[in-house]
A and B are shown apart, each in its own frame.
Chain A
């Protein structure tokens, strides 16, 4: 249990570090929009399966606000990550993860298999990015722009997501 706590605290700092020091510095462009690369939602996705939903939401808020401080966008990352925390358990169940079997473990590639992990992360990541840009633009008048940015960001973020899962394969 203590190990698990440590692993999760480390992951919190580590993912924020990668996000700010590497991913934030990479310029990616689509249809003249600059896009973000998202890796940090991985943190919420990998929290242990027995974590109460309230904790998922709260940690989402905390991590989101931390990122917002660095991105100068109060509420935008937080809003998206709170949403991601809210739908995490639902998405695991939707893709048929046996919550009893992986009880108290992290739903990582090692514990649920790469196929399932890839599907779930695609689902969670896409929704996260969509909510992020919705909060950012904050009006559905620009729904076209939101969709273009979401799809673009998803295409560049998803490989990073999978690469992370292939490199770091935590069992805790």
Chain B
């Protein structure tokens, strides 16, 4: 032991090297698990400020495309206004269909409220990708809220400071989203992960092979996890096959959103989330 210590002291640079590499490895591992140290992420004040400056200059180059996408989105929102609401009455009569906007007063509760934000830093190069938003806790953004773009679900908030927040992109090896595949309008449940490390695609598992899926079928969020509101597009079926000996499809999903050019996003705050989680906990 003594001679080992002496050896290490004599070669202190080797020791320092090993210690530093160990620290780095711990940082890599811990960041993927805990996600609560914000000082090392771009949601800290210093880096956040830097990126909002850079972004404000770049912003001018994208004004046209941003205006287009906003106009497009407004049109969609007009069609959909009722869908973010939770209808608080029991459906007792199947002949009686309820339009959410035809109800007044207490029978309508907000389920999701949205905060718009701008993406000021984005990456698709790593095995775990993040992007930074120019809004934070002071604007009502909190951890594990879902993030949507005009074209679909794009990530989950991982850490928040007062003015900025970091979002774990759906292009991350640790992320798992539950989604529905719509076969002739009929939803089938499945689970989405990023195994391919190709930023155009996600991989979908656990769709039983008895389902008759076809190329081009849409995959939407299903709201099971309380992170995303229901019915937002994630992508479309690109290719699929059944691995030998398996009862489930392996589906390659082409993402609806081009993850490299995210600009405006909406953070969805589920007001009924705690109630749902509490209830689900009592069942476990």
Within 8 A of A (CB), among B76-133: 121, 123-130, 132
The answer for the CA separation of A161 and B23 in the assembled complex, in Å, is 28
Given contacts A21-B54, A34-B260, A142-B197, contact A76 B28 (CB under 8 A): yes
Check A52 against B13 for contact (C-beta < 8 Å). yes
Q: Which of chain B's residues have a CB closer than 8 A to the CB of A70?
A: 42, 47, 50-51, 121
Within 8 A of B (CB), among A54-98: 54, 57-58, 60-61, 64-65, 68-76, 78-79, 82-83, 85-86
Check A72 against B123 for contact (C-beta < 8 Å). yes
**B residues with CB within 8 A of A:** 12-13, 16-17, 20-21, 23-31, 37, 40-42, 44, 46-47, 50-51, 54, 121, 123-130, 132, 166, 197-200, 260
Check B16 against A54 for contact (C-beta < 8 Å). yes
Q: Which of chain B's residues have a CB closer than 8 A to the CB of A32?
A: 198-200
23 chain-A/chain-B pairs, Cβ below 8 angstroms? A20-B50, A21-B54, A27-B260, A32-B198, A33-B197, A33-B198, A34-B124, A34-B199, A35-B125, A60-B20, A64-B24, A69-B40, A73-B31, A74-B27, A74-B37, A75-B24, A75-B28, A78-B20, A82-B17, A82-B24, A85-B17, A136-B126, A142-B127
Q: Does A12 lie at the interface of the complex (its beta carbon under 8 Å from any beta carbon of B)?
A: no
Of the residues A27, A57, A142, contact of B17 by C-beta under 8 Å: A57
Determine how close the nearest CB of chain A comes to the CB of B26; give it in whole angstroms. 7
Of the residues B12, B50, B54, B126, contact of A54 by C-beta under 8 Å: B12
Q: Does A13 lie at the interface of the complex (its beta carbon under 8 Å from any beta carbon of B)?
A: no
The answer for the CA separation of A27 and B260 in the assembled complex, in Å, is 9
Q: Which of chain A's residues have a CB closer than 8 A to the CB of B123?
A: 71-72
Q: Which of chain B's residues have a CB closer than 8 A to the CB of A54?
A: 12-13, 16
Given contacts A32-B199, A53-B13, A65-B40, contact A138 B54 (CB under 8 A): no
Q: Does A36 lie at the interface of the complex (its beta carbon under 8 Å from any beta carbon of B)?
A: yes
Determine how close the nearest CB of chain A comes to the CB of B6; give it in whole angstroms. 18
With A34-B125, A74-B27, A82-B21 already in contact, 16 other A-B pairs whose C-beta atoms are closer than 8 Å: A32-B199, A34-B199, A57-B13, A57-B16, A61-B24, A69-B40, A69-B44, A70-B121, A73-B31, A74-B31, A74-B40, A75-B27, A76-B28, A79-B24, A82-B20, A138-B28
Of the listed residues A20, A72, A135, the one surrounded by the most CB atoms of chain B closer than 10 A to its CB is A72
The answer for the CA separation of A133 and B256 in the assembled complex, in Å, is 27
- Top 3 A-B pairs ranked by shortest CB distance? A75-B27, A79-B24, A53-B13
State the interface size on chain A (CB cutoff 8 A). Answer: 38
Check B199 against A61 for contact (C-beta < 8 Å). no
**A residues with CB within 8 A of B:** 20-21, 27, 32-36, 52-54, 57-58, 60-61, 64-65, 68-76, 78-79, 82-83, 85-86, 135-138, 142, 145
Q: Which residue of A lies closest to B167 (CB)?
A: A72
Q: Which residue of B lies closest to A72 (CB)?
A: B130
Determine how close the nearest CB of chain B comes to the CB of A105; give it in whole angstroms. 21
The answer for the CA separation of A21 and B58 in the assembled complex, in Å, is 11
The answer for the CA separation of A12 and B129 in the assembled complex, in Å, is 26
Q: Which of chain A's residues have a CB closer than 8 A to the CB of B121?
A: 70, 72
The answer for the CA separation of A34 and B75 in the assembled complex, in Å, is 33
Determine how close the nearest CB of chain B comes to the CB of A152; give it in whole angstroms. 11
Given contacts A54-B13, A136-B126, A138-B127, contact A69 B42 (CB under 8 A): yes
The answer for the CA separation of A74 and B46 in the assembled complex, in Å, is 16
Determine how close the nearest CB of chain A comes to the CB of B207; give it in whole angstroms. 24
The answer for the CA separation of A16 and B197 in the assembled complex, in Å, is 27
Q: Which residue of B lies closest to A31 (CB)?
A: B198
The answer for the CA separation of A33 and B123 in the assembled complex, in Å, is 12
Check A79 against B260 for contact (C-beta < 8 Å). no
Check B23 against A76 for contact (C-beta < 8 Å). no
Determine how close the nearest CB of chain B comes to the CB of A155; give it in whole angstroms. 15
